[in-house]
Amino acid sequence: MEPLWFAIVSGMLAVYVVLDGFDFGAGFLHLIVARNDTERRTVLAAIGPVWDGNEVWLLAGGGALFMAFPAAYAVGFSGFYLPLMLLLWVLILRGLSIELRGHVTDPLWAAFWDATFAIGSTFIAIVLGAALGNVLRGVPLDGTGTFHMPLFDTFWPSPHSGVLDAYTVLVGVFTLLALSGHGGLYLAMKAEGPVHDRSLRAARLSWLVAGVLFPLVTWATAQVSPELPGAAAQRPLVWILAALVAASAAALVVGLVRGRPELGFLGSAGTLFTLLGTAAAARWPVLLRSSVSPSLSLDAFQAATTQHGLRIALSWTLVGLPLACGYFVFIARLFRGKVRLET
Amino acid sequence: MSDPLFWHRLHFGFTVTYHYLFPQLTMGLAFLIVLFKWKAFRTGSTLHDEAARFWARIFGISFAMGVVTGIPLEFQFGTNWSRFSHFAGGVIGQTLAMEGMFAFFLESTFLGLFLYGEKRFGPRMHLASAVALWLGSWLSGYFIIATNAFMQSPVGHSIGPDGRLQLEDFWAFVLNPWGIWQYLHNMTASVVTASFVVAAVGAYWSLSGRQREHATLALRTGVIAGLIASCLMVFPTGDRHGRLLAEKQPATLAAMEGLFESKPGAELAIIGQPDVMHRRLENPVVVPGMLSFLIYGSFGSTVTGLDRIPVDRWPDNIELLYYSYHVMAGLGTLFIALMALAAFLLWRGRLEETRPVLWALMLAMPFPYIATTAGWMTAELGRQPWLVYGLMRTSEGTSPRVSAGNALFTLIGFSGLYLVMGILFLYLVGREIAHGPGTPSHQTRVTRTPDLAGEVG
């Protein structure tokens, strides 16, 4: 049961990154690709009906983590106390910016929420990346089975590193660029005219820089977590997922080069999902790597609840997850096509 | 200042209380919006359609506030209560994860459709999305109450060899009798809140001589739904909840009622302040025998008082618990009186001429919020000193690595943010009420070009 639940939880969180990722990317690009009120309303209308549903994947994935691996949820969330609280405040402000901007017709009101939306989305994209960086690099889990870390301490990764160091910031920046490319493709798909053109250009540039950074990120990951490549190379699933990364990335490149945002978006969604999947498959069974000593790491077997509990949860997940996917397809089909504002 | 437990408790208490100001309106309002939509759909009444659209705008604002203030709560179990999450996650993680899977996806999907899709997808789809929102929000409430019910009266679990709770009987856990009565009590309360808000807005329009037809509709709907729901709060939901309390949490019941001595023919305190040090009620005004009657159906039955319970199992803030309970019960009684009077006048066709009652209905709006908050304080303070009743003390549940200072710092951060949000909420809802039904004050509807990019999911 543990491998299955490890896969379900990782999969749900990866879906979260793919889905909320495009609206974070759209937010990062908001002030750049949309220059006047109509264009900005177009961007918001493109994500308006879906962003809340996208964010639910975080809550559902977090809930699944809580249920399946209570120890990892407890140790991880309390260990990242301050950064998580900062993230929550920004998530709140950003959610409000999307929902409240349209309620008052006033340029200052709109400008305030536009800026909140853009800054909030940018911050969250970087923080999500840095969080992934922390999971890959490890946290100072000690003999008590808990950890606490400062926001930043040493510049280069070390057992004393804070949440932010050169490595996690690098992953954060890479994530921002990748999500910017992802969101740019979404906007190119949903918008017409200048917003479409600027979004496509932004997506090309973002993915280009992200592509250049990718080998550096991979190399740095092997440096901070030396046991990872060796373990990963022996797992067939890692190779399959890595092949899927390559295939998705090919679709992404074709979509970007030929200016076909639909293909590019599917490619970028696939790339993000399989990249995260590869990382999770390589990382199994470790949930929280200890940067103090590998023997202190928290793995899925130690953190899991009982087999009975996991089996029960699997039975309702087999009902609930297809329903959730069904809603998503339903809403995506209803709101398919280009966004146009009606005044 | 240096005791982390206190700040962790206040942190969760504050954020959850503030959050629940919004869902209690949206859950009840979802039900009333379905009624308006249904009527409009069946009869083609534009009045009901306009009313549904107006309340949907208020609903949208309140729902957004509820969503963004709800996100932190799912994190806070881990951030501030890590030992509790570690201990109980194997059981309560089930219902929390199910809430995401079954309720949040349903709600969030149909919210977009409900708020943005009326013109594009027609009245049938719009009614269906209103129904889905109502079901989703009420389902969400069930999973949360089932989680809380486990903390109040644990069932369906066992304690594993590692000392952590594990799930034994899923259905016993999900269908906890405590949870079922608490759920019905709570959902009825959300209808009370929504009815009072609808009636208050109707009273405001009526008093200011605007929106005549809408004022009448809002008053009629609010008063009738409000009277029915207020009565259901007392019987059967409150009554059955009280009996469960006597059975499962006698210490809580004794503290709520200020009953320091076990006795036959126990009296019901209407007024009085608990003096815990001397173990008595100050200036008590009581109804003799009434407590025994309410709980056991006979005036002579013996009700357990605090004297039969070891002091280390007493709720740790008896005064606040006592006041919360009495505020809830007292307001609940006044709600029935006010709504019964308004319903009588409505029946005689004189409600809109009786300005003092309209004033009372308008000014009554905050009180269901106070009563609901007091009710939840009764439940949560009454559970003390336990986090999971009889299994884990609250003092054993906090995060060991999170200091008092960090908890206080983030509590202050939440307070500031929530203050700003409260002002925004009142401003936006005030604008909508002042504007009234009719053309919306904002335009963010979207349309699509016909089947242009149909291949894209």
> What's residue A143's pLDDT?
87
Residues 380-419 of B with CB under 8 A from A: 399-402, 406, 410, 413-414, 417
Number of domains within chain A: 1
The verdict on residue A342 lying in a domain is no
Range of the domain at B162: 4-248+318-435
How far is residue A248 from each of residues A33, A201, A229, A245, measured CA to CA in Å? 25, 20, 22, 5
> What's residue B439's pLDDT?
58
For an interface test with B, the pick among A2, A59, A308 (most B C-beta atoms closer than 10 Å) comes out as A59
The verdict on residue A286 lying in a domain is yes
> What's residue A162's pLDDT?
87
Chain A positions in Cβ-Cβ contact with residue B166 (cut-off 8 Å): 305-306, 308-309
Q: Tell me: the pLDDT tens digits for B123-173?
A: 899 999 999 999 999 999 999 999 999 999 999 999 999 999 999 999 999
Cα gap A24→A119, rounded to integer Å: 10
Q: Tell me: the pLDDT tens digits for B45-101?
A: 999 999 999 999 999 999 999 999 999 999 999 999 999 999 999 999 999 999 999
The verdict on residue A339 lying in a domain is no
| Average pLDDT of the residues in A27-40 | 94
The verdict on residue A72 lying in a domain is yes
* Other beta carbons less than 10 A from residue A294's beta carbon: 13
- Using a CB–CB cutoff of 8 Å, tell me whether B443 touches chain A: yes
**DSSP secondary structure string for all residues of A193-222:** HHHHHHHHHHHHHHHHHHHHHHHHHHHHHH
If one compares B362 and A156, the residue with the highest pLDDT of the two is: B362
The verdict on residue A137 lying in a domain is yes
Chain B positions in Cβ-Cβ contact with residue A329 (cut-off 8 Å): 457
The verdict on residue B285 lying in a domain is no
* Other beta carbons less than 10 A from residue A245's beta carbon: 19
Contact between A74 and B86 under an 8 Å Cβ cutoff? The reply is: yes
Residues 95-114 of B with CB under 8 A from A: 96-102, 104-106, 108-109, 111-113
Test A81 with B399 for CB contact under 8 angstroms.
Answer: yes
The verdict on residue B295 lying in a domain is no
Contacts of A284 (CB under 8 A, 6+ apart): A3, A6, A235, A300
Residue of chain B nearest A9, judged by CA positions = B97
Positions of chain B with pLDDT under 70? 439-457
If one compares A337 and A285, the residue with the highest pLDDT of the two is: A285
User: Is the per-residue pLDDT at A325 higher than 50?
Assistant: yes
The verdict on residue B271 lying in a domain is no
Chain A positions in Cβ-Cβ contact with residue B113 (cut-off 8 Å): 49, 331, 334
- Using a CB–CB cutoff of 8 Å, tell me whether B121 touches chain A: yes
| Nearest-CB residue to B112 (from A48, A75, A96) | A48
Tell me how many degrees the CA angle A318-A322-A326 measures, rounded to the nearest 5.
Answer: 165
Based on the number of CB atoms within 10 Å of its own CB, is B136 exposed (0-12), middle (13-18) or buried (19 or more)? buried
- Using a CB–CB cutoff of 8 Å, tell me whether B74 touches chain A: yes
The verdict on residue B454 lying in a domain is no
> What's residue B440's pLDDT?
52
| Nearest-CB residue to B413 (from A52, A79, A85) | A85
Test A67 with B168 for CB contact under 8 angstroms.
Answer: no
Confidence band, pLDDT 50/70/90 cuts, at residue A342:
low
| Nearest-CB residue to B112 (from A49, A80, A308) | A49
> What's residue B121's pLDDT?
86
User: Is the per-residue pLDDT at A25 higher than 50?
Assistant: yes
The verdict on residue A133 lying in a domain is yes
Range of the domain at A102: 2-334
The verdict on residue A340 lying in a domain is no
| Average pLDDT of the residues in A312-316 | 95
For an interface test with A, the pick among B74, B95, B102, B105 (most A C-beta atoms closer than 10 Å) comes out as B105
pTM over 0.90: yes
Taking all residues of chain A, what is their mean pLDDT, rounded to a whole number?
A: 93
Residue B281 β-bridge partners: B274
Q: Tell me: the pLDDT tens digits for A83-112?
A: 999 999 999 999 999 999 988 989 999 999
How far is residue B452 from each of residues A333, A338, B36, B217, measured CA to CA in Å? 12, 7, 35, 43
Number of domains within chain B: 1
The verdict on residue B444 lying in a domain is no
The verdict on residue B419 lying in a domain is yes
The stretches of B164-236 forming alpha helices (DSSP H) are: 170-174, 177-207, 212-232
> What's residue B454's pLDDT?
34
| Average pLDDT of the residues in A50-77 | 93
Q: How far is CA B335 from the centre of its chain?
A: 16
Cα gap B273→B271, rounded to integer Å: 7
| Nearest-CB residue to B77 (from A41, A66, A99) | A66
Test A103 with B109 for CB contact under 8 angstroms.
Answer: no
b/e per residue B390-404 (b: at least 16 CB within 10 A): ebbebbebbbebbeb
Cα gap A100→B162, rounded to integer Å: 48
Looking at this predicted complex, what is its ipTM? 0.92
Chain A positions in Cβ-Cβ contact with residue B399 (cut-off 8 Å): 74, 78, 81
Test A327 with B105 for CB contact under 8 angstroms.
Answer: yes
